[in-house]
Structure 1
């Protein structure tokens, strides 16, 4: 059943957009304020971003412990905000029954914030910690340097993040500017609110009218037009005077630039062996201006000038081709994206006025104007790529084949969800598995790019002696993508090229990427020198053993999947659960970045994992309050329950510019020693999160896979019951166990262990 939408203007001027999508499991709200960092007084860089932070610190009606962030997190939802140049966005996603509570908190905190000076002082330090991390992040600095190439008087080239020195809290003029910015822009005429979910449109409208009425009546405030843009780098493109619809037009162009199939620009680079990575990013769009960048990574031996000529030739080919042909293919792609989008993604697109759709007449005109401003150069041989098979909803025609015994089937995801997931895992004892992994990553990269374009998640990973392939999305697309992936993994075509470059990460994210290896107790091993070839890969596959899990496939899809898996390399096996270690372990990870970062993982035996989930839920608020708000250790602070290699446990993470890893760990110990109080409402809310109709499809699949790895029954109802049976004594006993000296703690940090008690 297609989505239905409704657009309204409320009495206070607020634009209300509603979307009824029956297939969705969750509901979402996205509120856009048409003002951002470029609309703030230039005397106070970062004021708009600072105000965004202050909103989340609670109000008289909804204090911090009952504010939007805590409310949404307690329901297993998502919540965040973003300050851009000309807009500020606030958004959350929750179970449908909780939409009203979230919406009330969102509207109330924006309309009637508490801007007390004490909370401003605390939050400015958080902003400053963000600034320090930003200033040390290579990617952030590269983008900042890139923006300096635009005209010097354009606000894009200025500093807008805010820090301890740009936010003059004790200055009367600053306080007047802060309250004035809020009064001017956070009123009805400046706001677009989008609600999306499985609820009927009338119900969504009633919620929107009820809670959005709190905003003062107003009109849209004209935003000052910026000075002209100028781009001085070959892969940075600046446009002026574009008509409405330019952002949608750029989205079509980006989709074509990201297409690596035969006949495309990326295909031309691939065939020459030059391409190592390509990312196209919109940097700015406002008042007919558009700035976007191609982050192109080429092999050192590549001819850069030739690559640019090919790019400009591809532009010329698109310019001369009937736009209807591109738009038709783009429309099919957008249909798939809309069907696969979450409630949050749909609400955010609606609030931005950018639906998942082919270009309309206005946007096609914008595409023509955009193409006219791109470099011209008739060069290269081009053709329109054939229809993308990953967008075909019908299953491939195959002969009937039974599923291999090594593949387990789960019925946790009904086929009616039109979302399937397949996990394949190989134990590869070969000493060459690490360099061979690089060969496979390179072989899979073009297919992964196509999958990303078509809303299919294709992930290849390696930990210790294991290789793993995960494919998820529309069932027909999963079958096709898996077949292509298995063929590439057994017979890669290019043995000489290196795998794609991994993006630079801040320390805490780099540690998260190494968590699986640390849990397994793996350390990098020396690889014997040799020249890799097909024979070595064949030998590795011959001695490997595999097992897997599939869910979300109907009977026809199971037959098609069975045919594909006849070509699965290795010998069938059964999962072997990872061993739970004893005592406290410290794993020193060498990761880039100068800030101190630490992950603390506390694994739990199977019988304690239900109470462990509840404990993690109850600790979320206190951890955030103590470490981020009160101690101001840094902006990257989190706590959660995480399953790694089938092992479930509590996970805490902190990145700090000033506190050492030992100090962070000490703060966590003291916090755990304070205990928690059982909250009956929180217990009920947590149990309700593990009902399949309430869980995101990807979360259902991942939970099923983790229980499969642990060789435990995949029974969500049993988990719900165990959570509901958790008592205060269970929480107290669990905390006591966690604080004992023989508890199986794992510290993963970018420093050596503080003392000999860790091994």
Structure 2
């Protein structure tokens, strides 16, 4: 059934967009302010982003401890904000009954912010830390260099990242500009508020009217037409001028065509030549009929960039001559699959941009033609449009029913009516060849993963220790088709996948790099020597003969399970049960070699399965104090978090900090000092946390992941049992667990980008 939508304009000028989606479990709000970094006075770079930060520091009615950030986090929701060139977006997702509370906090903090000078000085240091990290990020600097290539008079070519020196807080002119920017743009005429959830439209409208009236009445602020973008210096960046309305969605269709890597397309032509390593298309700027977009294309060392560009221009010419109605029809199916799979937050954010998940209208088709006409063309290549992707088909595949393998466990934690299925497949691969052969499988699965991404299916192939894992989630029909094709590729990879590949992943900031290495660290698998030599299909066949697998299916109804039995007939390896959980003694420090100069540390404190409820409540109660002490008061850095995390079936408390000035040892000392202060049981927080583990309140992906982690832990986990255990947790339970964690004999894992500070750390790796 299609969603019901409604659009209206309130008396204060605010545009309200409402979406009733009965299938959703959560509700979301997205508020777009039509003002960004290019609208701030040029004398004060970073002012718009700085103001965005200040909003989240609390108001008179909702201080920091009860502000939007803490409110949403306490409910297990999502909240964030983003400042772009001409827009600033604020958005959150919560259980439906919490939408009113979140909406009141959001509107209040934007309408009546506290711009006290003391908090400005504290938050400026956070902005400066972000600036330092940005200035050291290769991808960010590459994009900044690209923006510098536009016309010197265009705002894109200017510096807009704020730092300690551009935000002159002591200057009265800056304070006047800050307040003036807020008054000028944070009023009804500049705003679009989108609400989305399972609530009826009338209820959503009532909430929108009630809380959005806090904004002052205003009119849209007229924008000055920016100067021409001019021509960029890179052949993979494209600029367009004077485009009609609908150009952004038209570009979305074009990018969808470019991202298609099936036979007959440009990406496939590059892959067949062995040139393609990675591809990403990104819209960098869209405003007032101007577009700037870029292709991030990484080619192999033996590729010919000029030939790749000529093929691209040939593909442009082919698309320009293709039937626009056919392009739009396939694009409509793609958009429909995205809409069916989108979360409340994704739908709300999309609606706030006034670009719903639909095919192009008449204006959009005209804009598409205008975009295509301004692109370079050539006669290179032989092209054809691929047929409609079967992954976009909602009907289950027609197969002969096969019995389900004994190694497959069925979880009933997610009803089949949710139309969201998840399949986890995990192989234990003891062969010393696994590290080299995993690269072959990565190449073999890459084209399918690209197709899955386009069709809103998540197909992930990951490795940790001696394990390979395949995870596929999405609409049940699409998951079944994707898994069947994935297993076929893993059994017999195409010939091109056996060639050496020099592809490398983008460098991550230190804290993200540590998170990526955390599963390996938890498993504690010792490093193995990577064997040299030529890889062949027979070696993969031998590896599969030694491998043992088990699996979990979540969210499949009876009809889908019948088809799943057929899909798993080709699963390589021997069926088995999950293996034992990793163990280690006392404190362990692991030195991870990761790029980046800032200090980063993860502290993981594993807990017995019986303590999961108490551990989750303890993590919830620590979340606010950790953020307040380490980020707000001590200003350690902008990357500070704490949570309960399940890693490779092991549940525990996870703390993470990245700091430009505090060492790893100092970070650890700050964390331990905070833990020694203890926590006080908050019954309201306990009730709210328990409510998060009601299936009707959890995101489908979260239910599936919890079921999988419980399966890995070989625990008979039930969400209702966890919820009851949380509700019965007492202060003495929290105190006892904290005492055990702080005991010298407790089990810790410190993963850091530095050597152990003391040889007494057991298992320390220097």
Q: TM-score range by the shorter chain?
A: over 0.9
Helix, strand or coil at the partner of 2:570: coil
Quote the residue 1:158 is aligned against.
158
Give the conservation status (yes or no) of the 8 Å contact 1:442–1:499: no
User: Can you list the C-alpha shifts for 1:16-50, whole angstroms capped at 9, x where unaligned?
Assistant: 11110000000000000000000000000000000
Alignment of 1:203 with 2:206, yes or no, is no
How far apart are residue 153 of structure 1 and its match? Answer: 1.7
Give the conservation status (yes or no) of the 8 Å contact 1:438–1:499: no
Quote the residue 1:538 is aligned against.
541
Quote the residue 2:169 is aligned against.
169
* 1:664 aligns with one of 664, 667, 672: 667
Quote the residue 2:484 is aligned against.
483
Give the Cα separation in 1 of the matches to 2:276 and 2:565. 34
* 1:723 aligns with one of 715, 722, 726: 726
Greater shift in the superposed pair: 529-538 or 240-249 = 529-538
Report matched runs for 1:487-636 at 5 Å.
487-493=488-494, 494=496, 495-498=498-501, 500-636=503-639
Give the Cα separation in 2 of the matches to 1:427 and 1:526. 18
Give the Cα separation in 1 of the matches to 2:532 and 2:235. 40
How far apart are residue 365 of structure 1 and its match? Answer: 0.3
* 1:700 aligns with one of 693, 700, 703: 703
How far apart are residue 383 of structure 1 and its match? Answer: 0.4
Helix, strand or coil at the partner of 2:754: coil
Quote the residue 2:294 is aligned against.
293
How far apart are residue 577 of structure 1 and its match? Answer: 3.0
Quote the residue 2:760 is aligned against.
757
Alignment of 1:118 with 2:118, yes or no, is yes
Report matched runs for 1:318-357 at 5 Å.
318-357=319-358
Give the conservation status (yes or no) of the 8 Å contact 1:445–1:500: no
Helix, strand or coil at the partner of 2:313: helix
Give the Cα separation in 2 of the matches to 1:577 and 1:130. 41
Greater shift in the superposed pair: 323-332 or 378-387 = 378-387
Give the Cα separation in 2 of the matches to 1:363 and 1:620. 46
How far apart are residue 556 of structure 1 and its match? Answer: 1.5
Give the conservation status (yes or no) of the 8 Å contact 1:277–1:501: no
Give the conservation status (yes or no) of the 8 Å contact 2:522–2:582: no
Give the conservation status (yes or no) of the 8 Å contact 1:441–1:499: no
How far apart are residue 497 of structure 1 and its match? Answer: 3.7
Give the Cα separation in 2 of the matches to 1:43 and 1:290. 26
Give the conservation status (yes or no) of the 8 Å contact 2:300–2:502: no
Give the Cα separation in 2 of the matches to 1:698 and 1:627. 30
Quote the residue 1:388 is aligned against.
389
Quote the residue 1:11 is aligned against.
11
Give the Cα separation in 1 of the matches to 2:536 and 2:216. 69
How far apart are residue 528 of structure 1 and its match? Answer: 2.2
Give the conservation status (yes or no) of the 8 Å contact 2:588–2:748: yes
User: Can you list the C-alpha shifts for 1:100-124, whole angstroms capped at 9, x where unaligned?
Assistant: 0000000000000000000000000
User: Can you list the C-alpha shifts for 1:310-343, whole angstroms capped at 9, x where unaligned?
Assistant: 1000000000111111000000010010011000
Give the conservation status (yes or no) of the 8 Å contact 1:517–1:523: no
Give the Cα separation in 2 of the matches to 1:506 and 1:579. 27
Helix, strand or coil at the partner of 2:400: coil
Give the Cα separation in 1 of the matches to 2:631 and 2:525. 32
Quote the residue 1:373 is aligned against.
374
Helix, strand or coil at the partner of 1:566: helix
Report matched runs for 1:178-197 at 5 Å.
178-197=178-197
Quote the residue 2:249 is aligned against.
248
Quote the residue 2:279 is aligned against.
278
* 1:714 aligns with one of 714, 717, 735: 717
Give the Cα separation in 1 of the matches to 2:390 and 2:724. 43
How far apart are residue 450 of structure 1 and its match? Answer: 0.4
Quote the residue 2:683 is aligned against.
680
Give the Cα separation in 1 of the matches to 2:381 and 2:533. 38
Quote the residue 1:640 is aligned against.
643
How far apart are residue 500 of structure 1 and its match? Answer: 4.2
User: Can you list the C-alpha shifts for 1:687-732, whole angstroms capped at 9, x where unaligned?
Assistant: 0100111110000000000000000012001000110110000111
TM-score calculated relative to the size of structure 1: 0.99
Quote the residue 1:748 is aligned against.
751
Give the conservation status (yes or no) of the 8 Å contact 1:442–1:500: no
Give the Cα separation in 1 of the matches to 2:362 and 2:559. 40
Give the Cα separation in 2 of the matches to 1:601 and 1:273. 42
Give the Cα separation in 2 of the matches to 1:567 and 1:503. 34
How far apart are residue 304 of structure 1 and its match? Answer: 1.1
How far apart are residue 155 of structure 1 and its match? Answer: 1.2
The gaps in structure 1 that reach 5 residues or longer are: none
Greater shift in the superposed pair: 477-486 or 520-529 = 520-529
User: Can you list the C-alpha shifts for 1:37-80, whole angstroms capped at 9, x where unaligned?
Assistant: 00000000000000000000000000000000000000000000
Helix, strand or coil at the partner of 2:430: coil
Helix, strand or coil at the partner of 2:715: coil
User: Can you list the C-alpha shifts for 1:248-295, whole angstroms capped at 9, x where unaligned?
Assistant: 000000100000111111111111111000000000000000000000
The gaps in structure 2 that reach 5 residues or longer are: none
**Structure 1 runs, 4 residues or longer, greater than 6 Å off:** none
Give the Cα separation in 2 of the matches to 1:398 and 1:556. 11
User: Can you list the C-alpha shifts for 1:70-92, whole angstroms capped at 9, x where unaligned?
Assistant: 00000000000000000000000
Quote the residue 1:72 is aligned against.
72
Give the Cα separation in 2 of the matches to 1:579 and 1:314. 51
Give the conservation status (yes or no) of the 8 Å contact 2:27–2:197: yes
Give the Cα separation in 2 of the matches to 1:161 and 1:610. 43
Helix, strand or coil at the partner of 2:134: helix
Give the Cα separation in 1 of the matches to 2:527 and 2:229. 48
Helix, strand or coil at the partner of 1:378: coil
Helix, strand or coil at the partner of 2:696: helix
User: Can you list the C-alpha shifts for 1:496-551, whole angstroms capped at 9, x where unaligned?
Assistant: 04174312211100100000000011243212222110011100000110000001
How far apart are residue 565 of structure 1 and its match? Answer: 0.6
Quote the residue 2:39 is aligned against.
39
Give the Cα separation in 2 of the matches to 1:653 and 1:200. 40
Aligned CA-pair RMSD: 0.8
User: Can you list the C-alpha shifts for 1:210-238, whole angstroms capped at 9, x where unaligned?
Assistant: 00001011000012221111212100001
How far apart are residue 397 of structure 1 and its match? Answer: 1.5
Give the conservation status (yes or no) of the 8 Å contact 2:111–2:186: yes
Quote the residue 1:92 is aligned against.
92
User: Can you list the C-alpha shifts for 1:621-640, whole angstroms capped at 9, x where unaligned?
Assistant: 00000000000000000000
How far apart are residue 398 of structure 1 and its match? Answer: 1.2
Alignment of 1:61 with 2:64, yes or no, is no
